[in-house]
Structure 1
Amino acid sequence: MAFEDLLDDPVVQKYLHELVGPKGMPVAAAPPDGEVTDEELAERLGLELNDVRRALFILYENDLATYRRVRDEDSGWLTYLWTFQYENVPGNLREEMDRLLEALVDRREYELENEFYLCEVCSIRFEFGEAMDLGFECPECGSAVEAMENTDLVDAMDDRIERLRSELAVEA
């Protein structure tokens, strides 16, 4: 996928937004060609330097940016030259989807292995043992907690797990 196409993809845009947040999105959405300093980016984008640095560091932590340090011989100050590495986005998204699949499978197992009780007044859910310890009364409002059916939740998880496995070409 070409670099420009990658940034036009709504999934990639959402992924970048989740990483850097709304203040960092201008940095993530408009990567320059070649190396650039954080000061240049802040000036070009009209952003606070701290917001630019935060976004760059998050991109760096996620292997989407690299930097090299250059020391000014006169002042001794370090300048960081940043380069964006968005070719790693597809791999990062794959890892996110793998983690989501694993979490859903684990949560599905938890839902199947436990019995739940619900306070319909407070919408608080309790595991059986906790509900029993509380005398099947909600500690917040004192209402009785009722057995909760979670079949719809498990079915929704099954559907999502199946779709993820299909997208990832992973077998059960």
Structure 2
Amino acid sequence: MKVKEEEISEVDELLAELIERVAGEIGLVIYSMGLEEEFTDEQIANELGVEINEVRKALFALYEIGLASYRRVKDDDTGWIEYFWKLNYDKEKEVLLRELTKTKRNLEEKLKEEDQSVYYLCKNGCVKVSYEEAMEYNFMCPKCGGMLEYLDNTKAVEAIKKELEHLEKLIKLIS
């Protein structure tokens, strides 16, 4: 199967968004460095000119999603534990698939909820409540006292369906 260049860049973009969301800008910079060998957090902090705690936070975030691993070595002289990090570029596909699948499941739940429920919205935007809750509140907002109005969620349902189709396409592309 031949993969279009724009699809590859979309996957790269997704990976970058994921990394930035979980590990911040520093995490994205570290990951983008293309480090193949082991390194220490101190080396990266010095190279980037940032605080070592920022680097550690980003690396542990990358570790949490599976894009980094480490080994600990205790310095016999000082008693300090030093972390030697390695970026797991070979796990990008696995991590993206896991995250996209999780997002898909969440959207499917949201679609089910939106599809099976009738909602009312405060005209001032305070709350969105189910029909049952709106009845309990006598169709008055529990926060501001304004009227609760029927919410036509057709556009929201269509947007969720469209996003689910897009996710399916991405999942097939990555698989």
**Into which bin does the TM-score normalised by the smaller protein fall?**
0.7 to 0.9
SS of 2:83's partner is: strand
The reply to whether residue 163 of structure 1 matches residue 169 of structure 2 is no
Hey, what's the Cα distance between the residues in 2 that align with 1:76 and 1:125?
56
- In the TM superposition, structure 1's runs of 4+ consecutive aligned residues that sit over 6 Å from their partners are none
Matches within 5 A, 1:21-32: 21-32=24-35
Q: CA deviation at 1:123?
A: 5.0
Code of the aligned partner of 2:28: M
Hey, what's the Cα distance between the residues in 2 that align with 1:9 and 1:162?
19
| 2:103 counterpart residue number | 100
The alignment's TM-score, normalised by the length of structure 1, stands at 0.85
Code of the aligned partner of 1:15: L
| 1:119 counterpart residue number | 122
Listed as ranges, the gaps of 5+ residues in structure 1 are: none
Structure 1 residues 10 and 122: CA distance shift in structure 2, 3 A: closer
Hey, what's the Cα distance between the residues in 1 that align with 2:139 and 2:171?
42
- RCO higher in structure (CA 8 A, sep ≥6): 2
SS of 2:84's partner is: strand
Q: Which stretch of structure 1 is more off in the superposition, 140-149 or 125-134?
A: 140-149
Q: Deviations over 1:92-133 (max 9, x none)?
A: 111111111111111111111111111222352111111111
Hey, what's the Cα distance between the residues in 1 that align with 2:47 and 2:84?
15
Q: CA deviation at 1:44?
A: 0.9
The alignment's TM-score, normalised by the length of structure 2, stands at 0.84
Q: Residue 20 of structure 1 contacts residue 28 of structure 1 at CA under 8 Å; is this kept in 2?
A: no
Listed as ranges, the gaps of 5+ residues in structure 2 are: 1-7
| 2:13 counterpart residue number | 10
| 2:3 counterpart residue number | none
Q: Residue 126 of structure 2 contacts residue 143 of structure 2 at CA under 8 Å; is this kept in 1?
A: no
- Two-structure CA RMSD over aligned residues (Å): 2.2
Q: How many residues align?
A: 165
